[in-house]
Amino acid sequence: MDFKFSADQIALKKMAQELVAKEITPFIHEMDEKNEMRPGLMQKFHEAGILNLVVPEEYDGPGLDALSIALIYEELGKGCAGIATSAAANALASYPVVVAGNEMQKRKMFDALNDGKLAAFALTEPNAGSDAGGVATSAVKDGEYYVLNGTKCFITNGGISDVYTVFANARKSAGIRGLTAFIVDRDTPGFSIGKKEDKMGIRPSNTTELIFDNVRVHESMRIGREGEGFKIAMKTLDAARPLVGAVSVGLASAAFEAACKYAKERQQFGKPIASFQLVQAMIADMAMAVETARLMVYKACWMKDQGMDYQLESAMAKCLAADVAMKVTTDAVQVMGGYGYMKEYPVEKMMRDAKIMQIYEGTNQIQRLVIANNILY
């Protein structure tokens, strides 16, 4: 792996940094308080070319490699993990189509993303989190259509998307063997948005329920074959998890930088607290953790770009980076003491944001099972 970024990658990092500085940083606290992103922000992301990063060049997209996408998401994570999550949801929702979609489905999904529309990935349900086989949303065949009934929960961009990748069970009591993926448009009769969640962290990211009440979806919108949904979902999550890791690295890096700045400025006992060895030890541990997580994320992305088997490294990248984000943001609050606990400073929000990194797109406990199974069997 070459550790030197290309000129294009450096330009992408700079673009993301400038976008964060102009469109995110000045409004972070307002968006966090209001539990929503500010109007027009995703349009700015569209204009910057961030909403269609995974769309291949042959479908009029940038066709970026995984490492380049990770560099962008890392910078977005530094600015606000919630906004980064909303942007990354477009990639997550489109990966099933990349993995198993036909030509018509690819045109439909990719044209939507190229036009600046938002997409959502709908797998999780009230009784189906880590256990994807527990999906109860049904898809009953009726002629050329499938009739969908059920409820999804905790769906990123659920209330603001135009198109959804939905997983439902097409075979009663079949578990994962019946899981099937569909493309569902927002304006489909019977489809509605449920409650909007009031979250601890990543609050600018829209998170809602989705309700399916006799929603008729034409069989042409079925992604892959009936019963292939679990395989499609797992391949999708393998591709997406290093990008969750990238957001986590950005979040941890921002907390680390804030702690370092504070430690050099804060005076106690007549000297900066950065001169105290116990504070220095915390700073050193934070630095090593952030850099280790960053390298793991970059390796997983590089392996994907090389066409190598990267399932193990994908799980490692997500798990390690999420744990690092939680530890580093917590330690940043500790370095800053009482001030770190106050909303006047940014690290309390970062600590709240970090927790979800260990939960969504496969809990870190699930990642450890994936890691162990890859090593032992």
* Residue positions annotated with a catalytic role: 361
> Which alpha helices (H) appear in the chain, and where do they start and end?
7-19, 28-34, 41-48, 66-79, 81-100, 103-114, 229-265, 277-305, 311-340, 347-355, 364-376
Contact 150, 125 (CB under 8 A): yes
Q: What angle do CA 27, 33, 35 make, to 5 degrees?
A: 95
224 backbone dihedrals φ, ψ, rounded to 5° = 75, -165
SS3 228: coil
SS3 193: strand
Give the whole-angstrom CA distance, residue 234 versus residue 212. 23
- Considering only CA atoms, which of 24, 1, 15, 140 is closest in space to residue 82? 24
Give the whole-angstrom CA distance, residue 120 versus residue 6. 31
- From residue 115, alpha-carbon distances to 50, 60, 283 in Å are 11, 11, 44
Tokens at 194, concatenated: 């449920």
Give the whole-angstrom CA distance, residue 151 versus residue 153. 7
